[in-house]
Amino acid sequence: MKTYLFICMFVACLVIGCSEEGVGDKIDESPSLLADYTVLLHKDGLMKTALLNADTEGIIVDPEAGDFEMLPVPHLFYRNGSRMGFYIPEEDCSANFTVHDFSDGTAVHSSVFAEDLNCDRDVKSVAFSGNKALLAYVVPKDNKENDYFIRILDLLKSPSTYTDVSLAKEPIQLLVSNNKAFILCLDTDITNNYALVAINIDSGAITHEVGLGTNVLKISQDGMGNILVSYPNLHSLIDGNTMILGITTNYLLGKEPKFGYAKSEYFGDQAMYYPMESGSKSSYPHIAAVYDFKENMSVLYIYENFLSLEERNLKYEIEDTTMVSYDAKNNLILIGYRKKGGSGKGGLMRIKPIPDPKFLDNVDLDGIPIELFQN
């Protein structure tokens, strides 16, 4: 059954109290702001990590380097809980797939596509679950339709064993949930319509296919077993087990939460945290946003409303928002940003969310933050 919710509340401006002293302010009203974070950074074409220690006095960078092996910025990557998978092509047209677990510092490496070294192969999306990695790819064919596949790779076997599953439509995006792979596919040959295809990861069998129509932006998980399908003017929830369409939420004109355009996202308890295209709401291209799926309400944390002009331009040198996350233990929103000047540097700030929003602290980083893990 489809349930249509036509009104989507949208909070565009928040007046957040500015800190008079900035970094290092002591927040007396909070009993504890203790936290350790690992932030994944992009610097000079490489990915590295910084370990952060935080308390009521602020955030500092731990001099320890951590267990993450610095690597080139990957062509594709996928996050699954405390683990991230990285797809890195090699010059000989093979590739490496690495899964790093940020909870214990372990990593698993596998070689991919070493059997034929086809340089025309186009990998569209990657994902992983347990000891299985999945790669959606296209093999171009001259004068006829391209071939589409999902490769299911066993990460624990050496040499790597795999199964290729043939698809009828072009794969655009992959995600995994409950031992299933969900593929956003596009019929590029006839209808130009999108479909959601479900595959059993163990057997490689296609179990379901649901038509999605046109103008799909991306698919996500909502943290409650549903697949979130994003469109420009609405989103739909599809049950991950039954593949039955549930709630569809339509947006009022000008009130669109725009999370379908976000390059990164973090799911908390029935809420999505993401950098949102600001439009006319801010002078910065992207701002921190939180979409509450229970209330169908977006809350925007606009820099101009909680930092002075001097703080934004001179103290923190903010150019754009690159990631948004959530510290559930301390009920804090974390905003990662890129600094001005093309220096490859960034920063991370913590703020208290509504109903008592407030800027807390900031730390400068030698790199641009793209993901955050709470230790």
pLDDT at 349: 98
Percentage of the chain with pLDDT > 70? 91
pLDDT tens digits, residue range 206-259?
Answer: 999 999 999 999 999 887 889 999 999 999 999 999 999 999 999 999 889 999
Q: Which domain holds residue 177?
A: 74-250
Could you give the 3-state DSSP secondary structure of residue 261?
A: helix
pLDDT at 145: 84
- pLDDT band for position 157 (cuts 50, 70, 90): confident
Q: Residue 365: which of 342, 331, 338 has the closest Cα?
A: 338
pLDDT at 70: 84
- Cβ burial 330-361 (10 Å sphere, 16+ → b, else e): bebbbbbbbbeeeebbbbbbbbbbeeebbbbb
pLDDT at 19: 32
Average confidence score pLDDT of the chain: 89
Q: Is residue 5 part of a domain?
A: no
Instruction: Indicate if the pLDDT at residue 52 is higher than 90.
Output: yes
Out of 250, 265, 281, a domain closes at 250
- pLDDT band for position 178 (cuts 50, 70, 90): confident
Instruction: Indicate if the pLDDT at residue 17 is higher than 50.
Output: no
Out of 250, 277, 296, a domain closes at 250
pLDDT at 189: 87
Judge if 38 and 172 occupy the same domain: no
Judge if 150 and 297 occupy the same domain: no
Judge if 203 and 100 occupy the same domain: yes
Q: Is residue 221 part of a domain?
A: yes
Find the CATH number of the domain harbouring 123: 2.130.10.10
Instruction: Indicate if the pLDDT at residue 4 is higher than 60.
Output: no
Judge if 319 and 330 occupy the same domain: yes
Judge if 224 and 87 occupy the same domain: yes
Judge if 106 and 221 occupy the same domain: yes
Radius of gyration of the CA atoms of the chain, in A: 21
pLDDT at 28: 43
Domain count, the chain: 2
Judge if 135 and 153 occupy the same domain: yes
Greater pLDDT, 15 or 354 = 354
In DSSP terms, 292 is beta-bridged to: 271, 297
pLDDT at 213: 96
Judge if 213 and 313 occupy the same domain: no
pLDDT tens digits, residue range 273-322?
Answer: 999 999 999 999 999 999 998 888 899 999 999 999 999 999 999 999 99
Structure tokens at 284: 């910065």
Q: What is each CA distance from 46 to 6, 37, 42, 75, in whole angstroms?
A: 44, 20, 6, 12
Greater pLDDT, 56 or 29 = 56
pLDDT at 286: 97
21-30, 149-158, 190-199, 348-357, range with the lowest pLDDT: 21-30
DSSP 8-class letter at 239: E
The amino acid at residue 332 is L
Q: Residue 166: which of 211, 140, 136, 203 has the closest Cα?
A: 136
In DSSP terms, 92 is beta-bridged to: none
pLDDT tens digits, residue range 261-272?
Answer: 999 999 988 899
Burial class (CB in 10 A: 0-12, 13-18, 19+), 29: exposed
Judge if 273 and 170 occupy the same domain: no
Out of 250, 267, 286, a domain closes at 250
> What span, in angstroms and rounded, lies between the C-alpha atoms of 213 and 191?
9
Q: Is residue 10 part of a domain?
A: no
